[in-house]
Amino acid sequence: MAVPLVPPWVWTVPSLVLGALVALVLTFTTSGASVVGTLFLQQVLDLTAAVSGAVFLVFSAAVAAGSAVASGVVRRLGRVAAMVAGLVVVGGAMSVSALAVDRRSLVLFLVGLFVSGSGLGVASVASTAHGTSTTADDNAGLFGGILNAAAQIGTALLTAALVALLAWRWPDGAASRPASSARPEHAQAP
């Protein structure tokens, strides 16, 4: 008798399905944006790879800070409201980051990273708590694995879509070069 890796009955558990969906949306939103953000830092602001990596430490620190306060937020608002609040914060942060790219502003980009990381930390903890809230101990690993898989799928989907879109839109990478370095062909050195 075949035993499926993920038994079909798990998809009838509303708290798990909602938690997995939020985990997917969170990483769908933030991971692809990190790839584009790295391109922005290196190809538009002309920062080195090392400096660009250091800039993203702001995001990591904010995720840790958001995760640290998440249990208090969940107690105060409830798991679902905390997930929604985290998603709204991440969405707002993406608007700040888009403005940073438009204005070529490192300061705005750092603000967007901090706000996004904070929202991700809160929503991630809330989605995990919600997704595992109705499981028995013998299914905790299964539920946790589904939540982690959802997050990885979100990362893979948007990162692949964004890279494909960027390659299609700017096949030669011209749009990613800083305006100051763009020269007409006849002005290039021999």
Amino acid at residue number 61:
A
pLDDT at 130: 93
| Span 19-166 CATH architecture | Up-down Bundle (1.20)
Query: What residues have CB less than 8 Å from 68, skipping those under 6 apart?
Result: 121
133: phi > 0 → left, psi -120 to 50 → alpha, else beta; which?
A: alpha
Question: 139-162: per-residue pLDDT in tens?
Answer: 888 999 999 999 999 889 888 888
Q: Would the pLDDT of 189 be above 70?
A: no
d(CA 54, CA 28) in angstroms, rounded, equals 22
Query: Structure tokens of 132?
Result: 């595992």
Q: Would the pLDDT of 34 be above 90?
A: no
Confidence of residue 183 (pLDDT cuts 50, 70, 90): very low
Domains of the chain, residue spans: 19-166
**C-beta neighbour count of 125 within 10 angstroms:** 22
Phi/psi of residue 120, nearest 5 degrees: -60, -45
Query: Structure tokens of 104?
Result: 């070529």
